[in-house]
Amino acid sequence: MKTTLLLSLLLATGVSLTQAQNPVAPTHQTIKAFQRKITKPVNADYLLFLPQDYGKDPQKKWPLMLFLHGAGERGSNVTKVAAHGPPMLVQTKANFPFIVVSPQCPEGARWDNDVLLGLLDEINASHQVDAERVYLTGLSMGGYGSWSLGLTHPEIFAAIAPVCGGGDSLKVLLADPKKVASLKTLPVWAFHGGKDNVVKPEESQRMVDALRKIGNEAKLTIYPETGHDSWKEAYANEELYSWLLSHKRLGAKWAPHSQK
């Protein structure tokens, strides 16, 4: 399929296959290269939930859930993050079986993968985390963040559950060959409201379709009569948490992505 697409593009532009395989240096231009190392400081406020039995057995490793909120919870008051989803749920469920990490995105910003990886580095280094059971979920802007982080680093996660979000399907269709195997085996369960007029359900469908094209068995639940707040039904669904816990990234070992 890729070969056919390439030939079609070459024919459309009048470039022969020989020319494409053996390009010559452009006229009046020289070939250059550069190498630099770019670093940046990262930080975030976050809510941390530990199950009521956490720490009783110092040898026990716990599943970790990273939750990404929506645009309405951005700012500098981290308590806003508990308005929806798992950080709201755990306020009345002391036995919720995950370590739940819920960072806050600053006002006017969007989710930054580097910040989230740095946070995961921090939690994995300081808590009893089972590296084979690290999960990712988020709603609306956090749904976009979940698609972005999950598809960029599929090898980290045992499963992801984006809610009413969307993303860049090219992360799947043009993925680094080294990540294709992890993408194919990443369990994905997306949720969306059929009457969502903020983020159209087609956004989730497009991402799921892209994954299915490479052999992933991603699934999508559409709530036909629900608008943008499909997170209410998604996170009230006990099956979601059982589904997450049923998956492991076997052999996963946490490798730090950042330095203090």
Nearest to 92 by CA among 32, 140, 49: 49
Q: Residue 17 has what pLDDT?
A: 54
Question: Could you count the other beta carbons within 10 Å of the beta carbon of residue 177?
Answer: 6
Q: Which CATH code for domain 44-245?
A: 3.40.50.1820
Between the CA atoms of 219, 237, 51 and 129, what dihedral angle is there, to the nearest 10 degrees? Answer: 0
Which residue type sits at 204?
A: S
pLDDT in tens, 73-122: 999 999 999 999 999 999 999 999 999 999 999 999 999 999 999 999 99
Q: Which single residue is written with the structure tokens 């022969």?
A: 16
Enter the tokens of residue 214: 């490479």
Please give the biggest Cα pair distance in the chain.
70
Q: Which of 93-97, 138-142, 183-187, 255-259 has the lowest mean pLDDT?
A: 255-259
Nearest to 161 by CA among 220, 228, 113, 105: 220
pLDDT of residue 5 exceeding 70, the answer is no
More confident residue, 72 or 7: 72
User: In the chain, where are the structural domains located?
Assistant: 44-245
pLDDT in tens, 172-207: 999 999 999 999 999 999 999 999 999 999 999 999
Partners of 64 in the beta sheet?
Answer: 99, 134
Average pLDDT over residues 132-149: 98
Task: Please tell me the pTM assigned to this model.
Answer: 0.90
179-200 burial, b at 16+ Cβ within 10 Å, e below that, comes to beebbeebbbbbbbbeebeebe
Which residue type sits at 116?
A: L
Backbone phi, psi, residue 65, to 5°: -115, 125
What is the enclosing helix (H) or strand (E) of 126? helix 113-126
pLDDT in tens, 204-232: 999 999 999 999 999 999 999 999 999 99
Distance separating alpha carbons of residues 243 and 245, to the nearest angstrom: 6
